[in-house]
Structure 1
Amino acid sequence: MAKDKKTEKREKKQRSSEDNCDPPVSKKKKHIAEVSEESDTEKTGEVPEDPIEDLTPEERRVLERKLKKKRNKEEKRLKKEAESFTKESEEEPAKVSVDQLAKDYLKSWYRKNPEWKFQKLRQTWLLTNMYDTEKVSNKHFKRLLKYMAGLQGSARETTIQKAENYMKEYDQQETQDEADEPKLKRMRAVLQLLS
């Protein structure tokens, strides 16, 4: 008999907890899905029945968040489409290449333009590419030599070290290419100037 009373108590607890519990989660999700589908009908212009009144406060919050996410997503999509349309219709100014900016920097320095000011990035590009005859023409290289006469600090030391390393590599090569001749002349000019 003692077992029967215990089982009766358990059954009573289960019944009372079932009565106090919310409906199963899957039913909530179905209801929210139905409501969100009805919100889609709002876009089409049909007037839906008001199922929100049947929802608990928690379900309403969840539903409102979902609807807000959908609206935000749609707004972003429309905004992107509008931006892409305006970008296509506007003509973008031609972008100036890095090498052209560096050459203009050097030209401005050479002509003693009062608007000229030091730019580390331009100087670095010029010093890195000065041996390449395709990137820096002979005319620009002559200007660059005059510019390098005023080099100071680590830029000067680094430029000398690189030129010496290039000379060592060139001397260690078994075959000397005629294509390397302009590069070799430039290295010698830099070393004479800075040493």
Structure 2
Amino acid sequence: MEENAKERKRKNKKNKTKNNLVDVSKKDMAQDIDEEQEVDLSTKEELPHNQVNFEDDSDTEEQPKRKKKKKQPIPTESDSKKGKKSKRQIKKEKFIQRQAEAQAASKDQLKTQCLTYLSQWKHDKQNWKFMKVKQVWLFKNKFNPALVPDASWPQLLEYFDSAQGNIRNMLLDDANKIIKQLDEWSESQNKETNDTEEEVEVSRPDDNVYKRARDLIQCLQE
């Protein structure tokens, strides 16, 4: 009986020591866990700070500037119509063209009427009537072969020879200007010009115009 009691005491002591060791190990493990949690918490608290510092450093670095691409203008309907004429402009151009054609037709008609007036004076004096407008036209265009053709020139000389009053003096003045113009041109061609002298440009009258001027002077001075 005494041996059993001793054996129980010894076993109880072993169990106590084991329990104490277990408690110590549990305390150590709990302490280690607490320390690890504190470390984790500290690192977690520091992470945002470190992250902020990293982002701040990245902002301070010079980033290469990207070249901005030029925006290409979007073609609009107004741009496409720039090269095209508007209806108003087309109408205006047609109106100007019609006016020019009408004026040309009117000039041709007046030319025909004046030449008919001259021919009627020569061949049909009974039905001929004096018209100042047509006489003025013949006077202004007397030296122009395009308006008064060579075929009508002899008739015009006779008509002017029959004229009375101041118109004869005006005809002689115009004819003498043509003769003088040719004389001045001839002098300018023969004269040696110096560098210090100013050159006067004198145009040479047309041969047909010069011939008509001489014919007119001869006719009126006879």
TM-score normalised per structure 2? 0.42
Highest Rg: 1 or 2? 2
TM-score when normalising by structure 1: 0.48
